[in-house]
Amino acid sequence: MDVVRAAVAEVEDYERIEIRRLPRIAVVGPAVGDLTHLVAELLENATVFSPPHTAVQVHGERVAKGFTLEIHDRGLGMTPDALLEANLRLAETPEFELSDTDRLGLFVVSRLAQRQNVRVSLQPSPYGGTTAIVLIPSNLLTDEGARGTPTTAAPMTAPPAAVTPTPRGPAWATSGSGPSTRPSRTPSSPP
Protein backbone atom coordinates (compact mmCIF):
# COMPACT_ATOMS: atom_id res chain seq x y z
CA MET A 1 0.00 0.00 0.00
CA ASP A 2 1.38 3.44 -0.79
CA VAL A 3 2.24 6.10 1.76
CA VAL A 4 -0.42 8.66 0.84
CA ARG A 5 -3.27 6.14 0.65
CA ALA A 6 -2.17 4.61 3.94
CA ALA A 7 -2.19 8.06 5.52
CA VAL A 8 -5.67 8.78 4.15
CA ALA A 9 -6.87 5.50 5.66
CA GLU A 10 -5.83 6.74 9.12
CA VAL A 11 -8.05 9.84 8.87
CA GLU A 12 -11.53 9.65 10.34
CA ASP A 13 -13.12 11.89 7.70
CA TYR A 14 -11.19 10.35 4.80
CA GLU A 15 -14.04 10.83 2.29
CA ARG A 16 -13.24 14.55 2.12
CA ILE A 17 -9.66 14.03 0.95
CA GLU A 18 -8.94 14.41 -2.77
CA ILE A 19 -5.61 13.16 -4.06
CA ARG A 20 -4.40 15.06 -7.12
CA ARG A 21 -1.34 14.97 -9.36
CA LEU A 22 1.02 12.62 -7.57
CA PRO A 23 3.71 11.04 -9.75
CA ARG A 24 4.64 7.41 -9.23
CA ILE A 25 7.50 7.41 -6.77
CA ALA A 26 8.42 5.25 -3.81
CA VAL A 27 9.72 5.82 -0.28
CA VAL A 28 12.53 3.67 1.11
CA GLY A 29 11.31 1.06 3.58
CA PRO A 30 12.60 2.42 6.90
CA ALA A 31 10.86 5.78 6.35
CA VAL A 32 7.44 4.44 5.31
CA GLY A 33 5.85 4.22 8.78
CA ASP A 34 7.02 7.64 9.95
CA LEU A 35 5.98 9.37 6.72
CA THR A 36 2.59 7.66 6.75
CA HIS A 37 1.87 8.87 10.29
CA LEU A 38 3.27 12.35 9.59
CA VAL A 39 1.01 12.81 6.55
CA ALA A 40 -1.97 11.30 8.41
CA GLU A 41 -1.57 13.86 11.24
CA LEU A 42 -1.52 16.72 8.75
CA LEU A 43 -4.53 15.34 6.87
CA GLU A 44 -6.44 14.87 10.12
CA ASN A 45 -5.73 18.47 11.13
CA ALA A 46 -6.86 19.68 7.70
CA THR A 47 -10.19 17.85 7.96
CA VAL A 48 -10.81 18.82 11.58
CA PHE A 49 -10.06 22.52 11.10
CA SER A 50 -12.09 23.06 7.92
CA PRO A 51 -15.84 23.04 7.25
CA PRO A 52 -17.31 19.55 6.79
CA HIS A 53 -18.67 20.34 3.32
CA THR A 54 -15.24 21.24 1.92
CA ALA A 55 -12.56 19.02 0.41
CA VAL A 56 -8.95 18.71 1.50
CA GLN A 57 -6.69 18.53 -1.53
CA VAL A 58 -3.36 16.71 -1.72
CA HIS A 59 -0.88 17.04 -4.53
CA GLY A 60 2.84 16.80 -4.95
CA GLU A 61 5.75 16.83 -7.33
CA ARG A 62 9.43 16.09 -7.62
CA VAL A 63 11.65 19.05 -6.82
CA ALA A 64 15.42 19.61 -6.83
CA LYS A 65 15.85 18.43 -3.22
CA GLY A 66 13.34 15.56 -3.25
CA PHE A 67 9.56 15.56 -3.31
CA THR A 68 7.04 18.10 -2.03
CA LEU A 69 3.62 17.09 -0.83
CA GLU A 70 1.07 19.87 -0.36
CA ILE A 71 -2.08 19.54 1.72
CA HIS A 72 -4.63 22.35 1.20
CA ASP A 73 -7.66 22.90 3.39
CA ARG A 74 -10.40 25.49 3.10
CA GLY A 75 -10.80 26.33 6.76
CA LEU A 76 -10.58 29.66 8.51
CA GLY A 77 -6.80 29.64 8.31
CA MET A 78 -4.42 30.80 10.99
CA THR A 79 -3.38 34.26 12.10
CA PRO A 80 0.16 35.31 11.14
CA ASP A 81 1.25 34.91 14.78
CA ALA A 82 -0.29 31.44 15.03
CA LEU A 83 1.42 30.41 11.77
CA LEU A 84 4.77 31.67 13.05
CA GLU A 85 4.36 29.80 16.34
CA ALA A 86 3.29 26.60 14.58
CA ASN A 87 6.21 26.77 12.13
CA LEU A 88 8.63 27.30 15.03
CA ARG A 89 7.19 24.24 16.78
CA LEU A 90 7.57 22.21 13.59
CA ALA A 91 11.18 23.33 13.07
CA GLU A 92 12.46 23.15 16.65
CA THR A 93 10.68 20.09 18.11
CA PRO A 94 10.20 21.44 21.64
CA GLU A 95 9.74 19.20 24.65
CA PHE A 96 6.19 17.96 24.94
CA GLU A 97 4.06 19.48 27.67
CA LEU A 98 1.18 17.30 28.78
CA SER A 99 -0.94 20.40 29.40
CA ASP A 100 -0.67 21.46 25.72
CA THR A 101 -2.84 18.76 24.15
CA ASP A 102 -4.19 21.22 21.54
CA ARG A 103 -0.81 21.05 19.83
CA LEU A 104 -0.21 17.31 20.13
CA GLY A 105 -0.55 16.78 16.37
CA LEU A 106 2.13 19.38 15.63
CA PHE A 107 4.40 17.79 18.22
CA VAL A 108 4.00 14.36 16.58
CA VAL A 109 4.59 15.80 13.10
CA SER A 110 7.68 17.63 14.35
CA ARG A 111 9.18 14.52 15.95
CA LEU A 112 8.51 12.31 12.93
CA ALA A 113 9.88 14.96 10.55
CA GLN A 114 13.01 15.35 12.64
CA ARG A 115 13.59 11.59 12.72
CA GLN A 116 13.49 11.35 8.90
CA ASN A 117 15.06 14.77 8.11
CA VAL A 118 11.79 15.90 6.49
CA ARG A 119 10.87 19.59 6.45
CA VAL A 120 7.28 20.60 7.21
CA SER A 121 5.94 24.13 7.07
CA LEU A 122 2.55 25.80 7.16
CA GLN A 123 1.43 28.80 5.13
CA PRO A 124 -1.82 30.49 4.16
CA SER A 125 -3.68 28.48 1.52
CA PRO A 126 -4.76 30.14 -1.70
CA TYR A 127 -8.16 28.56 -0.97
CA GLY A 128 -8.64 30.50 2.25
CA GLY A 129 -7.35 27.95 4.77
CA THR A 130 -3.92 26.56 5.55
CA THR A 131 -1.45 24.68 3.36
CA ALA A 132 0.95 22.17 4.88
CA ILE A 133 4.06 21.61 2.77
CA VAL A 134 6.11 18.48 3.35
CA LEU A 135 9.57 18.29 1.74
CA ILE A 136 10.74 14.69 1.61
CA PRO A 137 14.50 14.56 0.90
CA SER A 138 15.86 12.64 -2.10
CA ASN A 139 17.63 10.07 0.09
CA LEU A 140 14.20 8.77 1.23
CA LEU A 141 12.94 8.29 -2.34
CA THR A 142 13.39 5.65 -4.99
CA ASP A 143 11.88 5.06 -8.41
CA GLU A 144 12.33 1.29 -8.18
CA GLY A 145 9.04 0.45 -6.45
CA ALA A 146 7.12 2.74 -8.79
CA ARG A 147 8.26 0.74 -11.85
CA GLY A 148 7.14 -2.55 -10.36
CA THR A 149 10.65 -3.78 -9.54
CA PRO A 150 10.83 -5.72 -6.26
CA THR A 151 12.11 -3.40 -3.55
CA THR A 152 11.65 -2.52 0.10
CA ALA A 153 10.03 0.78 -0.80
CA ALA A 154 6.34 1.71 -0.65
CA PRO A 155 4.90 3.68 -3.59
CA MET A 156 3.89 7.26 -2.81
CA THR A 157 0.71 7.05 -4.84
CA ALA A 158 -1.54 5.13 -7.15
CA PRO A 159 -4.21 6.39 -9.54
CA PRO A 160 -6.75 8.53 -7.60
CA ALA A 161 -9.54 6.07 -8.40
CA ALA A 162 -7.72 3.48 -6.31
CA VAL A 163 -8.09 5.45 -3.08
CA THR A 164 -10.35 3.20 -1.02
CA PRO A 165 -9.30 3.44 2.62
CA THR A 166 -11.00 1.28 5.18
CA PRO A 167 -13.53 3.28 7.21
CA ARG A 168 -13.28 3.21 10.95
CA GLY A 169 -16.23 1.47 12.44
CA PRO A 170 -17.23 -0.81 15.26
CA ALA A 171 -15.04 -3.76 16.00
CA TRP A 172 -17.26 -6.75 15.28
CA ALA A 173 -17.09 -9.52 17.81
CA THR A 174 -17.07 -13.18 17.06
CA SER A 175 -18.43 -15.83 19.34
CA GLY A 176 -15.96 -18.45 20.39
CA SER A 177 -18.14 -21.35 19.28
CA GLY A 178 -19.68 -20.25 16.01
CA PRO A 179 -19.31 -18.17 12.89
CA SER A 180 -18.61 -14.44 12.90
CA THR A 181 -21.42 -12.17 14.06
CA ARG A 182 -20.32 -9.52 11.56
CA PRO A 183 -23.24 -8.61 9.26
CA SER A 184 -22.96 -9.42 5.58
CA ARG A 185 -22.37 -6.63 3.06
CA THR A 186 -25.33 -7.59 0.91
CA PRO A 187 -28.48 -5.57 1.50
CA SER A 188 -31.30 -7.46 3.06
CA SER A 189 -34.79 -7.45 1.61
CA PRO A 190 -37.49 -5.63 3.55
CA PRO A 191 -39.55 -7.79 5.95
Low-confidence winner among 60-64, 70-74, 151-155 (lowest mean pLDDT): 151-155
Tell me if 116 sits within 8 A of 35, measured CB to CB: yes
Instruction: Give the length of the chain.
Output: 191
What pLDDT is recorded for position 159? 37
Tell me the backbone φ, ψ of residue 69, rounded to 5 degrees: -115, 125
Higher pLDDT, 11 or 149: 11
Residue ranges per structural domain of the chain: 3-162
Mean pLDDT, residues 11-17 taken together: 95
CA 12 – CA 34 distance, rounded (Å): 19
HEC sequence for 135-171 = EEEHHHEECCHHHCCCCCCEECCCCHHHCCCCCCCCC
Tell me if 56 sits within 8 A of 17, measured CB to CB: yes
Tell me the backbone φ, ψ of residue 17, rounded to 5 degrees: -95, 125
Higher pLDDT, 103 or 26: 26
CA dihedral angle for residue 114, residue 156, residue 152, residue 135, rounded to 10 degrees: -20
Over residues 105-155, the pLDDT tens digits come to: 888 999 999 999 999 999 998 878 999 999 999 999 987 655 544 334 445
- Percent of the chain having pLDDT more than 90? 56
Helix (H, G, I), strand (E, B) or coil at 14: helix
Tell me if 110 sits within 8 A of 89, measured CB to CB: yes
- For the cut 80, the answer to whether the pLDDT of residue 25 exceeds it is yes
Over residues 160-186, the pLDDT tens digits come to: 444 444 444 333 333 343 443 333 334
Q: Which residues have a Cβ under 8 Å from the Cβ of 172 and sit 6 or more positions away?
A: 180, 181, 182, 183
Mean pLDDT, residues 13-18 taken together: 96
User: Which of 67, 45, 66, 65 has its CA nearest to residue 56?
Assistant: 45
What pLDDT is recorded for position 24? 87
- For the cut 50, the answer to whether the pLDDT of residue 46 exceeds it is yes
**DSSP codes, 97-127:** -TT-GGGHHHHHHHHHHHHHT-EEEEEE-TT
Q: Superfamily for 3-162?
A: Histidine kinase-like ATPase, C-terminal domain (3.30.565.10)
Mean pLDDT, residues 56-73 taken together: 95
CA 67 – CA 35 distance, rounded (Å): 12
- Percent of the chain having pLDDT more than 70? 69
